[in-house]
Structure 1
Amino acid sequence: MFGLFKRLFYYNEKQVTCTESTGKHLLVAAFDFGTTLSGYAFSFRNDPTKIQTNQAWIAGSESLLSLKTPTCVLLNPHNECAAFGFEAENKYLNLVVQGEHKSWMLFRRFKMLLHNNDGLNRKATVEDITGKKMPAMKIFAMSIRYLRDHLVDALHKQVDAIQESDILYVITVPAIWNDAAKRFMREAALEAGLDNDRIKLALEPEAASIWCQNINTSIKTDLSKAGIQYMVVDLGGGTADISVHEKNLDGTLKEIHKASGGPWGGILVDRNFICWLTNIFGQAKMSKLREEDMEDYISLLRQFENKKRTITQDTDGLITFRLPISLINIHDEAEKLTVNKKFEQMKIPNALINDKLRVPANIVRSWFSESIEETIRRMTNLLSDSKMMNVSTILLVGGFGECKLVHDSVKREFRNKRIIVPQEAGLAVLKGAVRFGHWPGLVTSRIVKYTYEFSSMSDYDANIHGIEKRVTLDCYGDEKVENRFLKIVSVNTEVNIGKPIKAPGYTYLQINCDCVMAIYTSLEPNPVFVTDSECKKIGEIPLGYAKGKSKDENRIEVSFLFGDSELEVRVKILKDGSEIKKVIDFFDA
């Protein structure tokens, strides 16, 4: 331990470069909280490039090709977290076998609640596998708390003197999430007991991009050149998250197109697989399998998880799946005829032999089609933009990004681009997030997804504004127009992370009024009024009462600060130089 602190002191004395960790924390730990799988990685400040991942996730009787564990939370009858991951699944299955599971709850794949959810709030709920509901914030917090505790226990086995307060936490989030979803994840981390000052959010494709800059393969040669532009396609269990980056002269990265994507991850393939089985065996059979034979149902999904990683464009013949006896145990002759007829219509002879289902490879590939086609369509649309003409390389990362069929399809579609799938593509986001925690300055700018503005008043002009828009301010006697959209930054604009953007000109506080500034977003580049249908209120900032007696004495200057994947608004009272700062809540609107 003495050697560790000696090296830390040495690092502090040196001039910091892009290869040295700059924080005060002893180590950085990243949590990749995924739709299907979750995991963590960490490295110490004295050796930040030596990133360690947990090697001890135990899957029970199943062997999954992953260094992560399922994102599953098991609650006991007292609504307490009893287990997480493989342990949660296996414990629940044991309860099912014993007939004691009715008062327990197993939550799976609940992260998708946060995708494209405009109505997201702190009271949102998620359902367990039987439809019972719990507050989503509580389930997310339990998951983060479990990962934190598992990490700390693992660290204590390495370094006795380590304290939880020595850790800077980085939590990965999809770049395509809206601001409220990112805020929800931070608040879940706070509820889990993490210190707000030691939490950073990392955008998943950015983290992957950072990691691919530093691995010792031919990728480094390609991506280390200043000016190179490349696309990062992060394919996870729930979403496809696409960003485009450029390497700066100083080795940092900037985003050159706003994040894009959709719900086209690996679980869409799983859903198509289950739908296909439902079409064959019927809704009643599949519902019974889920409700009464949960062990067999989860075993079926685990088996499919392994199978789908091996399917390629060249895979031919029949692919065999072992089905639960409870699913294929058909006693009714009419039902047998129905099932056999469906196989005949699909021209699959001898599809069922005992408990083995043999499915033609082309049908199995069809379960992937929607996910792959939607992802490629979005990639094609992005690359057709004139600003993307210099993008030369596509990086495929993420758990679903390891799928061979995905590789084949992308390579076939984009023959003029270099397609790179780094080793352990499923860990690229996780390991990159650790690097981001040590060197947050590696990403210098992003492209904003919305036009940001605040509600203000402007001078009334009878030639422009309708008479119904005119108001007279009693405090100053001016004729004004209310609810004007005062723009700070337009959609698709590049913003420097950590550098304030000032509103054009000044506005002022009203006299004898407890002033509140409302913040809005829009997908339109030049909205006129905040009451327009495309405008959305995202938060408020209380400013209090004006201190001056005249308009000039009550002038204010407004700035927006984009950083840490969140938005901070600063309002400076010019009369006395005081400043109000607030990170937008996104749930108070």
Structure 2
Amino acid sequence: MHDYIIAKDFGTAYSGYVFSLTPKGAEIDPHMSRWGREFGLDTPKAPTCILFNEDKEFIKFGYEAKRDYIRMRGQEARKSYFFGNFKMALYGKVISRDVEIKAANGKSMKALKVFTEALRYLKDDALRTIAENTAGGKFIASDFTWVLTVPAIWDLSAKQFMREAATQAGLVTERTQHHLIIALEPEAASAWCMKLPADGFITQNHDGRSLDQCPGTQFIVMDCGGGTIDITVHEVLHGGALKELHKASGNDLGGQTVDRKFKEFLREIFSHGVQKIMYEFMFLKQVDDDVQIVFPYNLGTLAQERQEIERFFESVRGASWDEGSINISKETLRSFFAESLKGITDSLREILNKDLHIEYILLVGGYAESQILRQHVIDQFGDQCKVLCPFRPQDAIMKGALEFGRHPAVVASRKSAFTYGFAVAEEFDPSKHRVDKKFTRCWGEGCCDIFRKLVEEGEDVGWNDTREHILIPSEANQTRMKISLYRTERKNPKYVDEVGVEKIGLFEVDMPYTSSGISQRVKLQLRFGSTEMTSTAVDLVSGLKRSVKVDFMTR
């Protein structure tokens, strides 16, 4: 790995990056990106919005993309492609390279192109920013280790999708894939937060030592993002590494669920023109009090056209009109959070009901800025464990991603979310095998489609542990073997076609040494304990070792 690191937090609502130019062995020195100064703002992230012209050519990203699209009129807007919050297109789905997502005007574009161009822009901006802040420094992408954060609850196909988008964007090449690390967002936050002293948190209710100095401590990290609530559970080991105690969990009830409820509230009052005030609401939802929203002139006019305005607002529960502003009561503001908070409560309670000894809940991510969210978690679970939130919780993931880039083994072991295995054949035994699986070959009768388990659901898997499977050619001159990978939430499936077992990926393993005929043996080694599944093939005749790509986007 390189000494220099750039970490990208590619969020549903907002995205940014952080870099460190310190050598190995030295402390990480994070430098955050800054956005929006040309708009009178100074934020560590930009809106995850991207604009293309009618020929699907990239135009703008972030605040500029949003501004230019809002300014568009009529035919120009109908021809363009504007995407916002498009990361959620990868949530809860099996992804293919051809999947398309819809722009704001209903037109579609391949998701891979949208993500690629967004990552390319962030890469170019990062390299430009670093060059401007290092006297005479000239850097290219290959000078860095890149870290890209993704939700822990994403499917393997979505993680592969992001790696391929990053490759097409020029962060790495096919030969330098090892310079790109996929980091799980709550794990990155753990890596940063566990080094913070007591005064690094908004609520300073622990004993003063940083968590990495407290082996045996168990804690939950809840990454409260715009799209997802992403939860991991860790125990601190001696030396400061982490052990995962519960497989990653969560839901899609992040901060944008609150935004959606607010939009529904506005649309009961106004027929259109809502989008232009959503930016102001991003800040208002951080407080827990009555709020006042100043409306643009055209929205006030719209309301007045419907009926005399003060009388109209008499029928609006929880809101009143005050000369160009709407006053929203604390109770109404809290109602926008109800669905999201219920999902958070259910997810946390499921974990806390397990036989664990959780001492802390750490709240991170932009949505954790909300006083309503933080107080709700304290009210619900404060009698069971201490609730901590770092200052600037949205920065924790980016800064932690730098730590992850320097120390990818910080999470020493993880819980396998599924039981994984291959389909194999063995000699047919009428006492234990299904008759419909019997086949006949020159050597006798066999049974096919038997689930050969590699890892069991809930099993602790070390970050660098491997599982092995010996491949045997079916023909003497066979030079390549394709083998499918299966998974299930069941512990001990017997066959790969049982209910609940699904095929998720395909390995293509070269077997070039045909001189051994059907005696040729290749050992396939798989790593399940990292943030991505990786594999290596070892030819047992020549000893040659090579990486094997597994394709999760073939389903």
TM over 0.5: yes
Q: CA deviation at 1:464?
A: 2.2
User: Which structure 2 residues correspond to residues 40-51 of structure 1 after superposition, within 5 A?
Assistant: 40-46=17-23, 47-51=26-30
Q: Name the counterpart of 1:163.
A: 139
Out of 389, 397, 402, the position equivalent to 1:434 is 402
Judged with a 3 Å threshold, the aligned counterparts in structure 2 of structure 1 residues 251 and 99 are, in CA distance, closer, same or farther, namely same
1:247 and 2:236 matched: yes
Q: CA deviation at 1:99?
A: 7.7
Q: Name the counterpart of 2:379.
A: 412
| 8 Å contact from structure 2 (residues 413, 529) kept in 1 | no
| SS of 1:392 mapped into structure 2 | strand
Q: Name the counterpart of 1:221.
A: 209
Q: Name the counterpart of 1:130.
A: 105
Counterpart of 1:394, as a letter, is: I
| SS of 2:112 mapped into structure 1 | helix
Counterpart of 1:441, as a letter, is: A
The alignment of Structure 1 onto Structure 2 pairs a total of residues equal to: 535
| 8 Å contact from structure 2 (residues 508, 549) kept in 1 | no
Q: Name the counterpart of 2:475.
A: 511
1:104 and 2:80 matched: yes
Identical-pair percentage: 30
Q: CA deviation at 1:508?
A: 3.2
Q: Give me the whole-angstrom Cα distance separating, in 1, the residues matched to 2:342 and 2:179.
A: 40
Q: Name the counterpart of 1:483.
A: 449
Q: Name the counterpart of 2:295.
A: 323
Q: CA deviation at 1:451?
A: 1.1
Deviations 1:38-64 (A, max 9, x none): 111011133542211023433625x57
| SS of 2:36 mapped into structure 1 | coil
User: Which structure 2 residues correspond to residues 22-421 of structure 1 after superposition, within 5 A?
Assistant: 23=1, 25-46=2-23, 47-58=26-37, 60=39, 63=41, 66-96=43-73, 100-118=76-94, 120-159=95-134, 160-164=136-140, 165-195=142-172, 196-218=177-199, 221-223=209-211, 224-281=213-270, 285-286=271-272, 289=273, 297-310=274-287, 312=288, 315=289, 318-330=290-302, 336=307, 344=314, 347-348=317-318, 351-386=320-355, 388=356, 390-415=357-382, 416-421=384-389
Q: CA deviation at 1:330?
A: 4.5
Q: CA deviation at 1:397?
A: 0.3
Q: Give me the whole-angstrom Cα distance separating, in 1, the residues matched to 2:299 and 2:408.
A: 51
Out of 502, 509, 517, the position equivalent to 2:468 is 502
Q: Give me the whole-angstrom Cα distance separating, in 2, the residues matched to 1:394 and 1:67.
A: 24
Q: CA deviation at 1:532?
A: 1.7
Q: CA deviation at 1:568?
A: 1.9
Out of 371, 392, 396, the position equivalent to 1:424 is 392
Judged with a 3 Å threshold, the aligned counterparts in structure 2 of structure 1 residues 339 and 459 are, in CA distance, closer, same or farther, namely farther
| 8 Å contact from structure 1 (residues 567, 583) kept in 2 | no
| 8 Å contact from structure 1 (residues 497, 563) kept in 2 | yes
| 8 Å contact from structure 1 (residues 234, 240) kept in 2 | yes
Q: CA deviation at 1:582?
A: 1.4
Judged with a 3 Å threshold, the aligned counterparts in structure 2 of structure 1 residues 189 and 449 are, in CA distance, closer, same or farther, namely same
Structure 2: which 5+ residue stretches go unaligned?
A: 200-205
| 8 Å contact from structure 1 (residues 74, 88) kept in 2 | yes
Tell me which moved more, 173-182 or 562-571. Answer: 562-571
Deviations 1:386-437 (A, max 9, x none): 1x2x110110000001111111000011122111101111100000001111
Counterpart of 2:291, as a letter, is: I
Deviations 1:272-309 (A, max 9, x none): 1111222344xxx23xx3xxxxxxx4430101111101
Counterpart of 1:172, as a letter, is: T
Structural RMSD (CA): 2.6
Deviations 1:166-207 (A, max 9, x none): 111100010010100000111110111111332111110110
Q: CA deviation at 1:79?
A: 2.2
Q: Give me the whole-angstrom Cα distance separating, in 1, the residues matched to 2:311 and 2:522.
A: 75
Q: CA deviation at 1:572?
A: 4.0
Q: Name the counterpart of 2:427.
A: 459
Q: Name the counterpart of 1:586.
A: 552
| 8 Å contact from structure 2 (residues 196, 210) kept in 1 | no
Q: CA deviation at 1:348?
A: 4.9
| 8 Å contact from structure 1 (residues 471, 481) kept in 2 | yes
Q: Give me the whole-angstrom Cα distance separating, in 1, the residues matched to 2:268 and 2:427.
A: 64
Deviations 1:316-357 (A, max 9, x none): xx4322234444434898x5499967x5555557x2344322
Counterpart of 1:299, as a letter, is: K
Counterpart of 1:586, as a letter, is: F
Q: Give me the whole-angstrom Cα distance separating, in 1, the residues matched to 2:438 and 2:544.
A: 32
Q: Give me the whole-angstrom Cα distance separating, in 1, the residues matched to 2:257 and 2:78.
A: 28
Judged with a 3 Å threshold, the aligned counterparts in structure 2 of structure 1 residues 580 and 472 are, in CA distance, closer, same or farther, namely farther
| SS of 2:390 mapped into structure 1 | coil
Deviations 1:103-127 (A, max 9, x none): 3322100000111112x11111122
| SS of 1:566 mapped into structure 2 | coil
Query: What TM-score does the superposition give when structure 2 sets the normalisation length?
Result: 0.90
| SS of 1:527 mapped into structure 2 | coil
Q: CA deviation at 1:247?
A: 1.0
Q: Give me the whole-angstrom Cα distance separating, in 1, the residues matched to 2:317 and 2:240.
A: 57
Tell me which moved more, 577-586 or 266-275. Answer: 577-586
Q: CA deviation at 1:485?
A: 0.7
Q: Name the counterpart of 1:533.
A: 499
Q: CA deviation at 1:253?
A: 1.3
Counterpart of 1:134, as a letter, is: M
Deviations 1:456-494 (A, max 9, x none): 1123221222322211123xx132111111110011111
Judged with a 3 Å threshold, the aligned counterparts in structure 2 of structure 1 residues 511 and 326 are, in CA distance, closer, same or farther, namely same
Judged with a 3 Å threshold, the aligned counterparts in structure 2 of structure 1 residues 331 and 566 are, in CA distance, closer, same or farther, namely closer
Deviations 1:117-145 (A, max 9, x none): 12x11111122211111111111111111
Tell me which moved more, 319-328 or 71-80. Answer: 319-328
Query: What TM-score does the superposition give when structure 1 sets the normalisation length?
Result: 0.85
| 8 Å contact from structure 2 (residues 241, 411) kept in 1 | yes
Counterpart of 2:227, as a letter, is: G
